[in-house]
Structure 1
């Protein structure tokens, strides 16, 4: 059986076609099974696919609805004003629950939230607050790249990143990275990969402000080279 799936908007750019053909041995498949197959067969598209809904014969279909070759099938990405992006930059306090909810998946048995907060004491020096600045459009693009890399390294794994800019006071969150995966090992590894890769390639800068001065902080783990290949130790 061949299913012909119509694609729209960003899905066309991602898959490079307006119609995706999926070959199956069986005569029918549930929506949930088809979505899982797409995330496994196209790991770099899994983050966006996870936010989409299927339409069957021009009506939204539930996870348990079955699809066959005779059906008119479409994969519908979030419409304007719908689900928020997996990758966001904000000037206000981060809603941690909202970020983690983006990676909820019925077939995932593990999820983690990494929360980076402003630390008061660093090597004996007292920080008053941090200030963040970013090259916004490129930062968002690089966050999406991290999600694609994670989906490729750990197929089926989802990642959402929100970073705050401006003033971030002591104990407040500057970044939240949510990851979910079918199994916990991939979830742990992908979470650590995401924060290390974020520091490597995302153009966001941190200014530490102390009681007696301030300093812009760059890479603190060795020479900075954003063109280096993705991390491989995970």
Structure 2
């Protein structure tokens, strides 16, 4: 069975077509199964697809709704008027300016961008590149949790986080955290807090790749406990 799915706005650029054709074996499939199939076929689009909804015969469809080849299908990205996502995961090069623009505010006098890049030498060992993978839905959820914690600790402070997956070369950015606040002291503190919490609770894993081998790296700053309460202010 071939399903023809209409695409709009940024999805057209992402997939390179305005109609996406997906081939499945059964005569009917649920929306949830169709989403899984698209992500399996197009893993680089998983982050964008997580924000989209399906329409079936011009009505929004739930995950358990079934579709057949006779249904009119469309994949709907967030509509105009919605805010850009503050928390993103991507397989592409991170645009630092795009991330920092999300926290621009007319009443904020300070903004910072933390950029985490691939370091070539670590404790005398030469890294060729890093490779990242993530549990994407939970990673996005825990990034949002960090933003909520920052707002509670430094009211009014804004935070945006974009993390890259896949292979990240030397000096390339794997994560960009943008923070803005009315005053610089809160901005500095919130930026440091964000990266430390990201390393504590966000399910993203890093593989260091060397010329003669590789290793997945876990927490390197002591015993790992994502349920541990955030550290108090210094």
When normalised by structure 2's length, the TM-score is 0.66
State the distance in 2 between where 1:172 and 1:180 align: 23
State the distance in 2 between where 1:231 and 1:90 align: 29
State the distance in 1 between where 2:213 and 2:78 align: 46
Mind listing any 5+ residue stretches in structure 2 that lack a counterpart?
1-76
Is the Cα–Cα contact under 8 Å of residues 131 and 208 in structure 1 kept in the other structure? yes
Moved over 2 A (4+): 81-84
Deviation string 1:45-82 (CA, Å, 9 cap, x unpaired) is xxxxxxxxxxxxxxxxxxxxxxxxxxxxxxxxx95255
Query: 1:204 — aligned with what?
Result: 204
Query: 1:36 — aligned with what?
Result: none
Query: 2:118 — aligned with what?
Result: 118
Query: What are the residue-to-residue correspondences of 1:178-217 with 2, within 5 Å?
Result: 178-217=178-217
State the 1:233 CA deviation. Answer: 2.6
Query: 1:80 — aligned with what?
Result: 79
Q: How many residues align?
A: 157
When normalised by structure 1's length, the TM-score is 0.66
State the distance in 1 between where 2:216 and 2:191 align: 26
1:228 aligns with 2:190: no
Mind listing any 5+ residue stretches in structure 1 that lack a counterpart?
1-77
Q: Which moved more, 1:211-220 or 1:81-90?
A: 81-90
Query: What are the residue-to-residue correspondences of 1:79-158 with 2, within 5 Å?
Result: 80=79, 82-158=82-158
SS in 1 for 2:171: coil
Considering only aligned residues, what root-mean-square deviation do their CA atoms show, in Å? Answer: 1.3
